[in-house]
Amino acid sequence: MTADARFDVTTTTTCGYCGVGCRLEAHAVGDHIVAVSPAADGPANKGHTCVKGRFAHQFTRSRDRLTAPLVRENGELRLASWDEALDRITFDLTRIKAEHGPDAIAGLASARATNEDGWAMQRVFRAAIGTNNIDNCSRVCHSPTSYGLRKSVGLSGCSGSFDDIEQSEVLIVIGANPTQAHPVVGARMKQAALNGTKIITVDPRRTELADVGALHCSLRPGTNAAFLNGIAHVLIRDGLVDEAFVRDRVEGFTALADLVQFVTPEVVEEITGVPAADLVQVAHLWGEARTGSIAWGLGVTEQRYGSECVQMICNLALLTGKIGRPGCTLMPLRGQNNVQGVSDIGALPDCYSTYRPVGDESVATLFEATWGVPLRRERGLSLPEMLDAAIAGKLKALWICGYDIGQSDPDTAKVEAALANLELLIVQDIFENETSREAHVMLPAASFLEKTGTFTNAERRIQLVHAAAAPPGAAKTDLEIFQLVSARLGHELPWSGPEDVMLEIGALTPKFAGVTYERIGRGGLQWPVAPDGTDSPRLYEQSFALPGGKAQLAAIPYKPPGDEASERYPLILVTGRRLEHYNVGTMTRRTANLELLPGEWLEIHPDDATAHGVADGQQVEVESRNGRIQVTARLTERIAPGHVFTAFHFPETRTNLLIGQSADINTSCPEYKVVAVSVTPARVGSGAARTHAVVA
């Protein structure tokens, strides 16, 4: 804490919005946070913050905060005491486990909560309930990143740091819009461009970074693989490969060379729409640079072959030796504040912390010895499998912490059907939301400004979070809630506070062995952290975290996306985020940011608007094979012809009604980024469909 005469207390903490991990100073007067400013020594933000981090804090004292538990009675949620809510949960979980077995119960951990919260929740499920049915929202965003990185280089995380941005001669930004979704990192990229870094943007939309970049490639959604393989073709064809690096540190070159030899720039142009000459220019800018980094986001991962495309991104770094040294970083841009951390600590159906399989006998026995209970070796259900099981009547109870799947997940009608079919739905959050419409019990939780623990940002940096205010009313921290429920289920969680949880994480996780709150301090620690506290700002300097120490090139062909334009659905919808709001808008829509952006719109190119009879500012109906919504059209040349764009921050828009069941083939991450739609002037009273009535 620091002193400032204008405020009663100033607390240094970490932002709870995107995955940049900005360090903040939260200023309180009495029981209220009244201002937030950037911490001057924040390693990621370096004294800066965005419109969300600095100004969107009023939600903490919103009048509709959950301040007491709610239980459903006669179809309505009513106020209840903690004892009544916990009794209801304990009774129903015990009954369901006895009648149907522990696998009839599942949980979803929060990427907005702390590492300690996520660890506690997965322990409750594995040790107190007896199932590996635990997952988190990385399933629907960056699970393909985790898969691809582990396959290619070994570890599921950024290979360097944000500081590598300024040291990169070339920066490829593919499938990401950092100035909107990760504004502080986006600003660092813009500044780097002004100082000489050549930025290449690859996106169906002309993003703000494209205006300061060296080259913009507007490719068709779903064609990333062809584009990336085409770059590999040119690198090999034109002698731009670091032959010594590939010989000494990489496997699989011959198979990749054989695969891409026919993926010529002309072939790529036909598939992607990117001119052949531009593809060659990208390859030469990348291959001839001494240093270079690649940043990517959900425009890569939220596609049918997103995990494969992450491997292809790794190919470009490995072919040119641009990894493991300053200015050479593989940089996935994580969407939520702790989406990196919640997976790192093991809130996954198939892995313990740092992605060690639940079936690994040595790992499982280590956890059993500490927790004092037998643990299952079979993988649990992933999020999509949970929904399928709920609809089939096999999953009876679902406990969701800080995750509004009713608004954020694909195929909204299916999600609603799954939730409605449960015998027990526990929603643990700070507000009522779309998911809680079906909740049997709601538990009031603390926000990130009201709890202590750690977040892990997109550069693997574990940073401290400190409570700057008390939770309102009878609300409790997530950790306190898990301890209360677990104790009632007969498994005590023996911690006196979050710091004890981190010590347990370190004791059971070699890559976190040296993590303590004291060592984290103000600058954070980038895992792996050795027992003596030495952290790892840069990975792969000497070897890769794969058998034999060598990286693996991926020889994977381009395959068409899961959805394509047709006569009935001639446009391709891409979804994403806006600067002023965050994810489903739970927090930002309860702040003055709503005045900056009060509603959603559909971006459409003027040529397409003319072709489909749409005027600027007109209400339009957007229809896919899965559903329909209404939204206001806005004409812009920043979106390429043939494509439209909208965000999902507003529940009244119900964007995810349009998204179907197409998903990444390896991780089940939904294909939010390639959805064939029609756009027509809205019919009076048509509104948003809540069913699967629309078919091809």
Percentage of residues in the chain with pLDDT exceeding 70? 97
Q: What's the CA gap between 591 and 597, in Å, rounded?
A: 11
470-474 own/partner pairs: CB under 8 Å, 24+ apart = 470/31, 471/444, 471/445, 471/446, 471/447, 472/60, 472/61, 472/65, 472/67, 472/444, 473/65, 473/67, 473/68, 473/444, 474/67, 474/68, 474/69, 474/82, 474/444
Of all residues in the chain, what percent carry a pLDDT higher than 90? 81
Q: Is the peptide bond before 38 cis (omega within 30 degrees of 0)?
A: no
Cβ atoms of 175 and 200 within 8 Å: the answer is no
Q: What are phi and psi of 291, to 5 degrees?
A: -130, 155
- CB distance 455 to 53 below 8 Å: no
Tell me where in the chain the CATH 3.40.50.740 domain(s) lie: 70-140+369-526
Where do we find the tokens 């002037």?
681
Per-position DSSP letters for 414-457, written without gaps between them: HHHHHHHT-SEEEEEESS--SGGGG-SEEEEB--GGG--EEEE-
User: For residue 66, what are its two tokens?
Assistant: 């959950």
Residues carrying CATH 2.40.40.20, the chain:
571-681
pLDDT of residue 398: 98
Instruction: Please determine, for residue 472, whether its predicted confidence score (pLDDT) is greater than 90.
Output: yes
* pLDDT, average across residues 396-403: 96
**What's the whole-number mean pLDDT along residues 476-491?**
98
Please report the pLDDT score of residue 226 as a whole number.
98
pLDDT greater at residue 411 or residue 314: 314
| Residue 306 reports pLDDT greater than 80 | yes
CATH 3.40.50.740 matches 70-140+369-526? yes
| 346-390 confidence digits (pLDDT tens) | 999 999 999 999 999 999 999 999 999 999 999 999 999 999 999
Q: Which tens digits make up the pLDDT trace of 67-106?
A: 999 999 999 999 999 999 999 999 999 999 999 999 999 9
d(CA 33, CA 447): 12
- The tokens for 85 are 């809510």
Closest among 672, 667, 669, 526 to 151, alpha carbons compared: 667
Q: Is 612 exposed, middle or buried (0-12, 13-18, 19+ CB in 10 A)?
A: middle
The strand pair at 70-73 and 441-444 is best described as antiparallel
DSSP 51: H
> What pLDDT is recorded for position 673?
84
pLDDT tens-digit map of 270-295 = 999 999 999 999 999 999 999 999 99
Closest to 563 (Cα-Cα) out of 266, 221, 161, 150: 221
CB 572 within 8 A of CB 220: yes
pLDDT tier at 141 (50, 70, 90 boundaries)?
confident
Q: Residue 409's pLDDT is what?
A: 82
Q: What's the rounded Cα separation, in Å, for the pair 570 and 516?
A: 55
Q: Are 106 and 269 in contact (CB under 8 A)?
A: no
Distance CA 209, CA 306 (A): 23
Q: Provide the token pair at 416.
A: 């609603």
Positive or negative torsion for Cα 587, 590, 595, 599: positive
CA atoms within 13 A on the CB side of 130: 14
Strand pairing class (250-251; 356-357): unpaired
Residue 685, pLDDT above cutoff 70 = no
Please give the pLDDT value at position 525.
98
pLDDT tens, 30-76?
A: 888 999 999 999 999 999 999 888 888 888 888 999 999 999 999 99
Using the predicted structure, report yes or no on whether residue 344 has a pLDDT greater than 60: yes
Task: Give the three-state DSSP class for 213.
Answer: coil
Residue (of 109, 107, 51) closest to 592 by Cα position: 51
At 693, the pLDDT band (50, 70, 90 cuts) reads very low
Question: In which residue are the tokens 């309102």 written?
Answer: 472
What residues contact 95, with CB distance under 8 A and at least 6 apart? none
Give the three-state DSSP class for 632: strand
* Mean pLDDT computed over 169-196: 95
pLDDT average, residue stretch 234-257: 98
Distances (CA, A) of 52 to 19, 343, 466: 13, 24, 18
Q: What's the pLDDT score for residue 579? A: 67
* Class at the top of the CATH hierarchy for domain 571-681: mainly beta
Mean pLDDT, the chain, rounded, equals 93
Q: How would you classify residue 428: left for phi > 0, otherwise alpha for psi between -120 and 50, otherwise beta?
A: beta
- State residue 411's pLDDT score: 85
**621 — phi, psi (to 5°)?**
-105, 125
Q: How many C-beta atoms surround the C-beta of residue 580 within 10 A?
A: 24
- pLDDT-based confidence at residue 655 (cuts at 50, 70, 90): confident
**CATH number for the segment(s) 9-61:** 2.20.25.90
Instruction: Return phi, psi of residue 39, to 5°.
Output: -75, 130
Of the candidates 373, 448, 468, 459, the one whose C-alpha atom is nearest the C-alpha of residue 116 is 448
pLDDT grade, residue 696 (50/70/90)? very low
Give 288-355 as a 3 state SS string. Answer: HCCCEEEEECHHHHCCCCHHHHHHHHHHHHHHCCCCCECCECEEECCCCCCHHHHHHCCCCCCEEHHH
- Flag whether pLDDT at 690 surpasses 70: no
Superfamily of chain region 143-332: Dimethylsulfoxide Reductase, domain 2 (3.40.228.10)
Q: What tokens does 195 get? A: 């100082």
Tens of pLDDT along 404-429?
998 888 888 899 999 999 999 999 99
Q: Is 277 exposed, middle or buried (0-12, 13-18, 19+ CB in 10 A)?
A: exposed
Task: Please tell me the predicted confidence (pLDDT) of residue 574.
Answer: 87
Contact 163, 171 (CB under 8 A): no
Grade residue 684 by pLDDT with cuts at 50, 70 and 90: low
Estimate the crossing angle of helix 265-272 against helix 276-288, to 10 degrees.
120
pLDDT at 1: 47
CA pseudo-torsion sign 235, 237, 238, 242: positive
- Residue 439: what residue type? A
Q: Looking at residue 388, what is its pLDDT?
A: 96
Report d(CA 692, CA 417) in Å as an integer.
11
Cα separation of the two ends of the chain: 59
